[in-house]
Amino acid sequence: MTQETVTLTIDGKSVTVPKGTNVLEAARTLGLDISAFCYHPGLSIVAQCRQCLVSIEKNPKLQPSCQQVVADGMVVHTTDAHSTLARAQQLEFTLLNHPIDCPICDKAGECTLQKLYFDHDNRDSRVDVPKVRKDKVVDVGPHIVLDQERCILCSRCIRTCDEVAGQHQLEFAFRSDHETLTTAPGEALDNPYSLNTVDVCPVGALTAKDFRFTMRAWELEATPSVCNGCATGCNVEIHHKHGRAWRLVPRHNPDVNKYWMCDEGRFTYHDLREHRIAAPLVEGLPSSWDRAIASAVLRIGSYLKEPQHVAVVLSALCSNEDNFALAKLAKEWKVGHVYFAGKPSVPQRADGKLRVADVNPNLTGIKAIADGLKLGAMPLPPLLPPTMKAAIVLGDVLAVDTHKLKEVELISFAAHERGPVPHAKVVFPIADWAELAGTITNLAGRVQRMHAAFAPPGQAIPGWEAIVRLAHATGVRLPWTHAREVFKDMIATVPAWKDLQWAREARPLQLRFAGSRG
Amino acid sequence: MATEATLKQLVLGRKDVQDLSDTEQELPPDLMTVNMGPSHPAMHGTVRIVLTVDGERIVKSDVQPGYLHRCFEKESEHATYTQVFPYTDRLNYVSPMINNVGWAMAIEKLMQIKPTPRCEYVRVIVSEMSRLTDHLTCVGASAMELGAFTAFLYFLKCREWLYELLEKVSGARLTHSYLRIGGVAKDLPDDFDADLTKCLDQIVPVIAEVEVMLNNNKIFRDRMAGVGAMTKAEALATGCVGPIARACGVDYDVRRDHPYSIYPEVEFDVPLGTHGDCYDRYLVRVEEMKQSIRILRQCLKQIPPGPVMVDDPRVSLPPKRDTYNTIESMIRHFKHIMDGIRVPPGEVYVFVEGGNGELGFYVVADGTGRPYKAYCRSPSFVHLSTASQLIHGHLIADIVPIFGMINMIGGECDK
């Protein structure tokens, strides 16, 4: 089926777009930047800010280009004196009551208002009347603070609550220059998708309590990755600086999360700094890599001769590559038991939108890998079989009573010291999700790429690399020197993944020069 | 006190001279390779020359720049257009103002901005002061390396007067960063006219005195005249510019032949040499200093009143009072500093007469706040390429005056 198209002329250039497109989107395909505040490609159109007015021939009045649907033969002008003046004047009105907050505003540097003023107006103020004062620090919800003075009344946040979260929690009150954004009667801005309003806010009216006054936006660097909060696998950008993440923001992916992500997912970056292991541990004491490897081999070496006494536990919280490396090692060792473990599911979390019950980012992935290697992996039972003498565990979540593990020779590959890790005889520190190049598989079976935003702490290394070191010490050759090579061997094993490509490493993007994010 | 025998012992080691064989008494006949630089007190800047010498005579030389790792061009791509000014200061760091002017003119040409008349005069004044400091340093240091320490101290004293004045103007003694795109950072200080006149009146007799000391000094002439000579054709073929080319008789000065700023409005002569040797380069530089003083005196007479910064919101920062009191000015100030001046896409080559000759900036803009590509046509780099040919056949000691008169500045050469 071919899509119906429409051809129109914008600023003398002919452009063909699908039927039903609006003029603003059509202009953007030509690289023309029509200024706009209230328009957001993921939200309904209200033509509220009047910032995108353009002239259309045979139409006596200026039209908002976001609302105007294209028609065949339409002739649009965006740079004529009439519409340029109208947009500049509109911007002047918008700035009329805007507070002089840039130096203390968290949005400065990624503010649409700043960008549009600098690109499209850049003239001095012509008024000398006092600005209308409104409330500055309004606690509208558990995660968000509202500054009513900064608000330019574009209603993006109202529509985000209505359309993304499905809850009408924000509303405008009063009229004219006293119009303010406020919570709807009896409501608080507490829906599980509330922080998307902060992303869509073109100015600094809505700011996240989590990010407020922590880091200036232009100093951050952005690395694309995937949220590890649940099995949805929302595409995110890690905004980081000085080797630590400062916030997660959603990255557009029409097939997974569109423009959005949930609040819970945004806070997962805090965990990157919790209880991190920076050096290998032997009997709970820091050690060198060589000594830790030697110690691990000494402990499990005799059991590997009778591999039915050895168990290997894969982790639904680790990347495909880490799990594949361990699964491959388990196969080479011919161990008796291969299990997989992860967090228990949270049924009340599922809402039919982005949040799902499975809070493990990679359960689908490890099942596919275990099937591909024909390991017959099972979920970890509450009690290990009594014949078990040694266990190699990936990750720090087992969701079973871990005290039993004290009795076996437990070797742990983990990023955080918790769960089974304190009981392990030898612990190898591995990189957490924001620190590694790798892939994870979401609930729908989509394999998505994560990029390393910064280096793991101390002597931690990517999980697959740690597993390769242990394998070599036990006489198993795993010929990998890069995550890409693990990936290549992995997709050859799993039939559904055979056409996948390893994406090039993404270099961190300096937000200072990325233009407005608004 | 040591006896004659023990002295012999000290000089010749364990052997007496009569104990040496015939072959041992002769100097070795084969060529020797020695390093000069990269860190050597007589080398201007960090440059290494691998010399192959036959005794004291140079038969082959390999000049190797690049030890300074300046990265001016690459660093410029990571800075806003305004942030490049401090980098240009460090190109030819004895005449930073001229580098500032070149960069500002390049960006202004891209943005089609014409600075105010007063700004143009201020720029020429500080440029010519910088030319004076450049030549004073070059001539003084070269004389010092040939043993004439007095000339060096006299000239450095003059240079310090100029530096003090430039510090009054810009706030910094050496790395001024005084220019801005569309103007200069601030107007000249109130008593600048009198200060500069007094300064020039002091410098003139010092130059005359040093000329008396050097021009007919036998040692100085013997070391300079006929040393490191280059013909006019060679100068043209190798792309030499500035005092070096003019010493060879190449009648070319950017200020006169491709006039920029307000140079058409002042009178000055372009001195030319005849032999193209080190002595001519010295004479040309001394005469250029006198011409610079002449230009400066004219500028002080002609400089009009008025603003020193164009009133163009694309490049000028709003006044502080507005920045703190209106949101429009606040945003503009913020964007200018954080995102940089928005230069429309295009490419440009602009060249000015630097201390060492034609200093050019080729800039490619892509519409953002940073240069997409910045290239510097630095005269020092071109001149250094002739060094190998100039020192060929001379004695090792001659490298010092030749290199002194090439006046290679490391910061400009290793861009």
Q: State how beta strands A5-10 and A13-18 pair.
A: antiparallel
Nearest to B331 among A117, A512, A513 (CB): A117
Mean pLDDT of chain A: 92
pLDDT of residue B377: 94
CB contact under 8 A, A122 and B314: yes
Mean pLDDT, range A140-165, rounded to an integer? 95
What are the tens digits of pLDDT across the range A275-288?
A: 999 999 999 999 99
Range 121-180 of A in CB contact (< 8 A) with B: 121-125
Mean pLDDT of chain B: 91
pLDDT of residue B346: 95
CB contact under 8 A, B329 and A124: yes
3-state secondary structure of B168: helix
Residue A95 at interface with chain B, using a CB cutoff of 8 Å: yes
CATH for the stretch A128-213: 3.30.70.20
Residue with tokens 């060589």: A290
pLDDT value at A463 more than 60 = yes
Over the range A14-43, which residues count as b (16 or more CB within 10 Å of their CB) and which as e? ebebeeebbbbbbbbeeebebbbbbbbebb
Q: Which domains does chain B have, with CATH numbers?
A: 72-413 (1.10.645.10)
Q: Where are the alpha helices (DSSP H) in B239-274?
A: 242-247, 254-257
Over the range B342-373, which residues count as b (16 or more CB within 10 Å of their CB) and which as e? bbeeeebebbbbbbbbbbbbbbebeebbbbee
Q: Is the dihedral of CA B275, B276, B282, B288 positive or negative?
A: positive
Q: Hey, what CATH class is A281-509 in?
A: alpha beta
Nearest to B327 among A98, A118, A513 (CB): A98
Q: Which of A183-192, B18-27, B284-293 has the lowest mean pLDDT?
A: B18-27
What are the tens digits of pLDDT across the range B324-377?
A: 999 999 999 999 998 889 899 999 999 999 999 999 999 999 888 899 999 999
User: Closest Cα to residue A238, out of A359, A159, A190, A229?
Assistant: A229
Instruction: State the complex-level ipTM.
Output: 0.87
How far apart CA A363 and CA A443 sit, in angstroms, is 8
Residue with tokens 């054709």: B233
What is the distance, to the nearest Å, from the Cα of residue B79 to the centroid of all Cα atoms in its chain? 23
At B129, the pLDDT band (50, 70, 90 cuts) reads very high
Closest chain B CA to residue A217:
B338
Residue A114 at interface with chain B, using a CB cutoff of 8 Å: yes
How far apart CA A309 and CA A299 sit, in angstroms, is 13
Looking at chain A, how many residues does it have? Answer: 518
Tell me the β-bridge partners of A449: A439
What are the tens digits of pLDDT across the range B136-153?
A: 999 999 999 998 899 999
Percent of chain A with pLDDT over 90: 82
pLDDT value at A1 more than 70 = no
CB contact under 8 A, A98 and B369: no
Chain B: nearest CA to A204, how far in angstroms? 13
CB contact under 8 A, A125 and B334: no
How far apart CA A18 and CA A26 sit, in angstroms, is 9
pLDDT value at A517 more than 50 = no
**Contacts with A35 from chain B: Cβ below 8 Å:** none
Measured at the CA of A405, the angle between CA A490 and CA A346, to 5 degrees, comes to: 65
CB contact under 8 A, B334 and A114: yes
CB contact under 8 A, B338 and A512: yes
What are the tens digits of pLDDT across the range B48-60?
A: 999 999 888 999 9
Q: Hey, what CATH class is A5-95 in?
A: alpha beta
At B8, the pLDDT band (50, 70, 90 cuts) reads low
Helix-strand-coil percent breakdown of chain A, rounded to 5? 30, 20, 50
Looking at chain B, how many residues does it have? Answer: 415
How far apart CA A458 and CA A462 sit, in angstroms, is 12
Domain boundaries, chain A: 5-95, 128-213, 281-509
Residue A119 at interface with chain B, using a CB cutoff of 8 Å: yes
